[in-house]
């Protein structure tokens, strides 16, 4: 992608909160039912907390009952990339921001029809922005 954003680890550490850094740059996971968006029903566009890229739309958000923000699809396919994650004795599909490689969460094949996907995303990796203002980056 032409607009990739690459920063040093030190720079990310400086720009992010400790929680954002631990989750987005060190592949952490916030405890269920603790993030600021798991129960959020506000309208808008969810942007990457690290680079501002539009990742998800509130219209694709649903209540999965898991305690993490859950979406049926990305705002655009190109906004995300995935990787196989074999950590913690499981095989999961990790979801990352295609623009800055932020760890966002995982995608599971137990979502609602028709696609049947559940994008299980950390609140700390997201920034909800009004639909109108949801363009550009920081």
Binding site for Fe ion (CB under 5 A): 48, 50-51, 53, 97, 99-100, 102
97 in catalytic set = no
Work out how close the CB of 41 gets to Fe ion at its nearest, in angstroms, rounded to a whole number. 24
Tell me if 39 sits within 8 A of 67, measured CB to CB: no
Work out how close the CB of 78 gets to Fe ion at its nearest, in angstroms, rounded to a whole number. 12
Nearer Cβ to Fe ion (96/120): 96
Nearer Cβ to Fe ion (39/138): 138
CA dist., res. 119 & res. 123, Å (int)? 12
Nearer Cβ to Fe ion (65/77): 77
**Residue 48 class from Cβ within 10 Å (0-12 exposed, 13-18 middle, 19+ buried)?**
buried
Which tokens sit at 107? 């995608």
H helical segments located in 30-82: none
CA dist., res. 34 & res. 39, Å (int)? 10
Work out how close the CB of 138 gets to Fe ion at its nearest, in angstroms, rounded to a whole number. 10
Q: In the beta sheet, which residues pair with residue 54?
A: 47
Catalytic residue positions, numbered: 120
């Amino acid at each position: 992608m032409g607009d990739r954003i690459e920063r040093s680890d030190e720079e990310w550490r400086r720009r992010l909160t400790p929680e954002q850094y631990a989750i987005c740059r060190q592949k952490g996971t916030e405890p269920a039912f603790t993030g600021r968006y798991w129960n959020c029903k506000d309208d808008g566009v969810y942007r990457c907390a690290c680079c501002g890229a539009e990742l998800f739309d509130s219209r694709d958000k649903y209540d999965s009952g898991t305690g993490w923000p859950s979406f049926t699809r990305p705002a655009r396919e190109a906004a995300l990339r995935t990787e196989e994650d074999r950590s913690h004795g499981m095989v999961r599909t990790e979801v990352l921001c295609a623009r800055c490689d932020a760890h966002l969460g995982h995608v599971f094949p137990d979502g609602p029809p028709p696609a049947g996907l559940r994008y299980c995303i950390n609140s700390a990796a997201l920034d909800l922005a009004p639909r109108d203002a949801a363009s550009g980056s920081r």
